């Protein structure tokens, strides 16, 4: 199996590694880590088991342990915290895995601030998704989660956002959310105080009537990324295209999220049609092909 991902970039906060066994190179490893942290404004991602060319090789458990220990020493030299984010088997016969590590600067006096706009057609589930993210509670299927993010009474009654709602989600030094837990709902100062990273979400309007408000939200908040939600049961609409066009025009990176997949459990052809239309749009209409978004997309 010859798996391959994008080639490692010299800049940015993502670093590929195979095996770090040479302790004599610790000083160079420390300098390299500081550079990646600086590029990521306080955090970096290390992917263990991938070559600089993007070849997915994987490492054994013993090889990873040795690599992790050496990276931990380099992190300690610069007062960084390191945690395992995820692991995935790439070769079942050898149990070799690829590991993803999070390295974050320990600094009690500042936090990493990320701005995320949430756009999409009306009834695509923007407010519900955001409500689940900031509260940690699943929706009940009748819109309970979106009550966490609505600003006005008429939004609650109609179930549709007509204003720009601003909410935050904080993460501690280990990458764990701080919004959840406790006997009371935490206020913003409390969340910020406990966080090493804060994501500010801007819930934008989906109805065509409020398009000017959505444009205001995208231009005034200067988001780092935009989530564009597409309902699996409704496919790509004209407003979806408007929101994508705005992101391209304003040079805002965006991520497409397909929601309401559960509605299509008994109508898999509808879900497949939605996925295929997204692929077709990405390859032709807007020319924003993602190299990892191929025809082997798994439903």
CATH number of 219's domain: 3.40.50.300
Q: Report the pLDDT averaged over residues 239-256.
A: 89
**How many angstroms separate the CA atoms of 67 and 281, rounded?**
42
For residues 33 and 255, what is the distance between their CA atoms, to the nearest angstrom? 27
The DSSP output letter for 59 is B
Torsion angles phi and psi, residue 81, rounded to 5? -110, 140
Q: Give the pLDDT band of residue 124 (cuts 50, 70, 90).
A: confident
Classify residue 284 by its DSSP letter: I
Q: Determine the pLDDT at residue 108.
A: 82
Domain boundary at 38, 70, 105, which? 105
Asked if the model's pLDDT at residue 157 lies above 80, the reply is no
**pLDDT (0 to 100) of residue 93:** 74
The pLDDT score that the predictor gives to residue 298 is 42
Question: 179 and 52 share a domain?
Answer: no
Query: 164 vs 281, which has greater pLDDT?
Result: 281
For 54, residues 6+ apart whose C-beta sits below 8 A from its C-beta are 4, 5, 6, 7, 8, 16
pLDDT-derived band at 5 (thresholds 50, 70, 90) equals confident
Mean pLDDT of 217-244: 87
Domain limits for position 42: 14-105
Helix (H) and strand (E) counts in the chain:
8, 9
Q: What is the pLDDT of residue 264?
A: 80
Using an 8 Å Cβ cutoff, are 217 and 204 in contact? yes
- As a whole number, mean pLDDT of residues 205-223 equals 80
Q: Are residues 129 and 243 in the same domain?
A: yes
Residue showing tokens 């302790």: 23
| Predicted pLDDT of residue 253 | 92
Does position 92 have pLDDT exceeding 60, yes or no? Answer: yes
Distance between terminal CA atoms of the chain?
Answer: 22
Same domain for 99 and 61 = yes
- In sequence order, the 6+-apart residues with CB closer than 8 A to the CB of 226 are 116, 117, 118, 119, 218, 243, 247, 252, 253, 254, 255
Instruction: Answer whether residue 292 is part of any domain.
Output: no
Task: Judge if 134 and 34 occupy the same domain.
Answer: no
pLDDT for the residue 154? 47
pLDDT at 10: 86
Q: What is the mean pLDDT of residues 72-84?
A: 91
pLDDT at 2: 61
Q: Is the pLDDT of residue 77 over 80?
A: yes
Q: Side-chain half-sphere of 122: how many Cα atoms within 13 Å? A: 12
Mark whether 164 and 26 lie in a shared domain.
no
Query: Any idea which of 110-119, 158-167, 233-242, 270-279 has the lowest mean pLDDT?
Result: 158-167
Find the mean pLDDT for residues 109-122.
Answer: 88
Mean per-residue pLDDT, 102-107: 91
Distance CA 169, CA 69 (A): 31
* 120 and 217 housed in the same domain: yes
Average of per-residue pLDDT across 163-183: 82
Query: What CATH number is associated with residue 20?
Result: 3.30.110
- Grouping H, G, I as helix, E, B as strand and the rest as coil, residue 84 is strand
Q: Which residue has the higher pLDDT, 287 or 205?
A: 205
d(CA 279, CA 277): 5
Per the structure, how many domains does the chain have? 2
Please state whether beta strands 197-203 and 43-48 pair in parallel, antiparallel, or not at all (unpaired): unpaired
User: What is the C-alpha separation between 77 and 8, in angstroms, rounded?
Assistant: 24
Confidence of residue 208 (pLDDT cuts 50, 70, 90): confident
pLDDT digits (tens, 9 = 90+) for 266-291: 777 888 888 888 888 877 655 544 44
Please tell me the distance from the alpha carbon of residue 131 to that of residue 148, in angstroms, as a whole number: 5
The reported pLDDT for the residue numbered 22 is: 59
CA distances from 26 to 36, 66, 101, 138, 197 (A): 15, 13, 18, 45, 27
Q: Is the pLDDT of residue 162 over 70?
A: no
For the stretch 51-74, pLDDT in tens is 888 888 889 898 899 889 989 988
């Amino acid at each position: 199996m010859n798996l391959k991902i994008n080639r490692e970039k010299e800049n940015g906060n993502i670093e590929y590694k195979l095996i770090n066994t040479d302790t004599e190179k610790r000083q160079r490893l420390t300098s390299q880590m500081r550079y990646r942290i600086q590029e990521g404004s306080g955090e970096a991602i290390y992917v263990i088991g991938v070559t600089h060319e993007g070849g997915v090789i994987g490492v054994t458990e013993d090889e990873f342990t040795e690599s992790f220990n050496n990276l931990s020493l380099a992190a300690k030299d610069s007062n960084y915290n390191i945690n395992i984010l995820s692991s995935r088997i790439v070769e079942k016969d050898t149990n070799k895995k690829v590991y993803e590590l999070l390295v974050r600067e320990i600094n009690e006096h500042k936090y990493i601030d990320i701005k995320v706009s949430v756009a999409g057609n009306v009834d695509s589930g923007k407010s519900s998704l955001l409500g689940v993210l900031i509260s940690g509670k699943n929706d009940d299927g009748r819109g309970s989660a979106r009550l966490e993010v609505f600003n006005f009474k008429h939004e609650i009654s109609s179930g549709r956002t007509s204003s720009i709602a601003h909410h935050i989600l904080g993460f501690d030094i280990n990458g764990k959310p701080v919004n959840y837990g406790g006997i009371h709902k935490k206020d913003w100062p409390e969340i910020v105080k406990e966080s090493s990273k804060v994501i500010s979400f801007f819930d934008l309007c989906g109805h065509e009537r409020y398009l000017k408000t959505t444009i205001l939200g995208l231009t005034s908040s200067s988001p780092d990324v935009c989530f564009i939600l597409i309902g699996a049961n409704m496919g790509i609409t004209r407003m979806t295209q408007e929101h994508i066009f705005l992101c391209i025009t304003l040079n805002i990176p965006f991520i497409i999220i397909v929601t309401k997949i559960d509605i299509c459990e008994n109508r898999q052809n509808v879900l497949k049609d939605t996925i295929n239309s997204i692929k077709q749009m990405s390859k032709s209409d807007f020319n924003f092909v993602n190299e990892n978004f191929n025809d082997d997309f798994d439903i």
